[in-house]
Amino acid sequence: MPQDAFTLRLVAKELDLALSGGKINRIVQPAKEELSLLIYTGKRSVKLILNANASACGAYFCEDDRPNPLTAPAFCMLLRKYIQGADILGVDTPGFERILRFRLLCHSEFQTAERLLIAEIMGKYSNLILTENGVILGALKTTSLDGNVRRMIFAGVKYTPPAAQDKVDPSDPAALKHLLQGCTGDAAEFLFAHVRGLAPVTAQAIAEGYTGGDFAQYVHDFIFSDEISPRVIERDGVPVDFVARGRTGTPYPTLSEAQSAFYGKKRAAKEFDALKRSLLSALRSAEKKQQKQLQQNLEKQLSCRDAEQNRMRGELLTANLYALSRGMKSCELDNWYTGKAEKIELDARLSPAENAQAYYKKYRKQKRTVEILLPRERELRDEILYLESLIAFTESALEETDLKSVREEMLASGLLERPKEKKKSAAPEIPFRTYERKGIRVYAGRNNLQNDALLRQSAPDDIWLHAQRYHSCHVVIKAGGKEVPEDVLALAAGVCALYSDAHGEKIPVDFCAVKHVKKPPHAKAGFVIYSNFKTVLGDPAIVRTAAPD
């Protein structure tokens, strides 16, 4: 992201125009390296974000209502002490540097003082520092007294700005002209390597806009022009950059709005990925546990595979008690089931009758064990199928609402522990995914609970769809008894294909009237059986161009 001196100079002008004469009413620190200042400008209250995180550094207005920590960090408390209630005199940048200075007139019962809140926007070296008369009062990131530290940053020492880059200052026309006389090769690379305060994307924009004439004058005019055309650049719906003066991307009226949108989308994408990973981790852990229990169940069943043989041995011994005696270790008896001789192991310490009873006892125990294990095996297999369906919903989620619906189902089913919270209003109900084509509505569930609800709320003549042999959302076409056009059916099948665990361009999707779909008693959420169905190929590409209502 181009938080270079070129961009920050324009940011400073924008902030100065908006904040001069304003008053700082509230200071909070929602994140470790982020400050939020509530400022009354005289017309309205605005929230200014000052971020010193390496991947999100910047200064911009924001309307996000993010939760604040219960206990304010030390730097936040220091700012509340020194600058809460302060009047903002102005915002500027010292020279052509990646630094914003907020000039503040601070009032207290005993004095009035002018202080500077300095935002050094320098990637991983970003920092927020409060000074008075050139002396540091406090900083977000402080240094130690280690002799290897080049720049001391802690309370009580004199503030020294970061060392300037060993490059030409573009505000010096003569030096810039002398430098660019030797410009050879790729102009963008040359500008980035030799001109101070330019990010690669800014240098590229300068080089691409040059059409001839005095190159040094053009570079100077480009850098110090107040013209802006803020844009956020995205790839596949993911924000990758923002620029102060661009030609491509989503346009925004102000630099602040562009930054707010960029960082907001970036943070939302990060939170989406984190939530997705945590849900998948919990689901796969639960699935692994069920798979382990199923394996143990099958192993126990395998150990009972000779139950009928033990019963048969008991019968053979009982029928031949007259021919056996105590102390025998084995015997061979005619097996009337197979017509062959059967060798039977005996316990020499037991009588023939006791040996027969021992085989019967082992048979009865194995039989009881199998009677318990078989229903449990079915339960485990159903549970694994249910978990696989939740994994499919999670992996196919395209927005935060999808993940929230899965999380709610996991909380309801006990797969996640519901956090203990104070009483609050119930969370808003998450709606079905909804599509419309030719006046016909198509609904899709976001999780298994919604799939069941969708089925309950559908009319018998509505059309129900589900991916064949895959986990997928349930889709219902509300046709009102009318014949469903082919393109509407194709859209509904595409929704099934998109929100399934199938990985292919087109997959088979079964469809039938809702009256042919039944939910067995005591079945897991989302599980149904259906009949009288037909099959169509579902193409996810159809849905990607038809966003939900």
Greater model confidence, 421 or 207: 207
Q: List the one residue out of 10, 23, 38 whose CA is nearest residue 89.
A: 23
Greater model confidence, 548 or 355: 355
How sure is the predictor about 537, in pLDDT bands with cuts at 50, 70 and 90? Answer: very high
Sign for the CA dihedral angle at 235, 238, 240, 246 comes to positive
Helix axes 255-303, 400-413, angle to 10 degrees: 40
pLDDT, one tens digit per residue, over 196-210 is 999 998 999 999 888
For 192-251, the DSSP string reads: HHHBTT--HHHHHHHHHH--SS-HHHHHHHHHH----B-EEEEETTEEEEEESB-SSSEE
Six-digit token string for 282: 């919990």
């939020």: which residue's tokens? 36
pLDDT, one tens digit per residue, over 366-419 is 999 999 999 999 999 999 999 999 999 999 998 889 999 999 999 988 999 887
CA distance 411 to 522: 19
- Are 510 and 432 in contact by the 8 Å Cβ rule? The answer is no
What residues pair up with 35 in beta bridges, in sequence order? Answer: 50
∠ CA 339-341-345, rounded to 5°: 135
The rounded percent of the chain whose pLDDT value lies above 70 is: 97
Query: How confident is the model at residue 479, as a pLDDT?
Result: 83
pLDDT, one tens digit per residue, over 450-459 is 999 999 999 9
- Are 244 and 10 in contact by the 8 Å Cβ rule? The answer is yes
- Are 378 and 298 in contact by the 8 Å Cβ rule? The answer is no
Tally the residues of the chain.
Answer: 549
Cα separation values, 220 from 9, 173, 315, 503, Å: 14, 7, 105, 53
pLDDT, one tens digit per residue, over 435-446 is 998 889 999 999
pLDDT, one tens digit per residue, over 3-38 is 899 999 999 999 999 999 999 999 999 989 999 999
CA distance 489 to 511: 9
- What's the pTM? 0.75
How sure is the predictor about 185, in pLDDT bands with cuts at 50, 70 and 90? Answer: confident
CB within 8 Å of 91: residues ≥ 6 apart: 12, 15, 16, 19, 20, 100, 101, 102, 103
pLDDT, one tens digit per residue, over 514-535 is 999 999 998 889 999 999 999 9
Largest CA distance in the chain: 123
CA distance 502 to 387: 16
Q: List the one residue out of 191, 257, 253 whose CA is nearest residue 223.
A: 191
Q: List the one residue out of 416, 444, 427, 451 whose CA is nearest residue 530.
A: 451
Give domain 5-139's CATH number out of 2.30.310.10, 3.30.1360.70, 3.30.460.10, 1.10.10.10.
Answer: 2.30.310.10
Q: List the one residue out of 457, 451, 514, 510 whose CA is nearest residue 481.
A: 514
pLDDT, one tens digit per residue, over 103-124 is 999 988 778 999 999 999 998 8
Query: How confident is the model at residue 150, as a pLDDT?
Result: 77
What φ, ψ does residue 282 adopt, rounded to 5°? -65, -40
The mean predicted confidence, pLDDT, of the chain is 90
Per-residue pLDDT for 424 more than 60?
Answer: no
170 half-sphere exposure, CB direction, 13 A CA radius: 27
Query: How confident is the model at residue 109, as a pLDDT?
Result: 79
Query: How confident is the model at residue 258, as a pLDDT?
Result: 92
pLDDT, one tens digit per residue, over 463-476 is 999 999 899 999 99
CA distance 57 to 67: 19
CB within 8 Å of 183: residues ≥ 6 apart: 190, 191, 215
Per-residue pLDDT for 423 more than 60?
Answer: no
How sure is the predictor about 547, in pLDDT bands with cuts at 50, 70 and 90? Answer: low
What residues pair up with 239 in beta bridges, in sequence order? Answer: 234
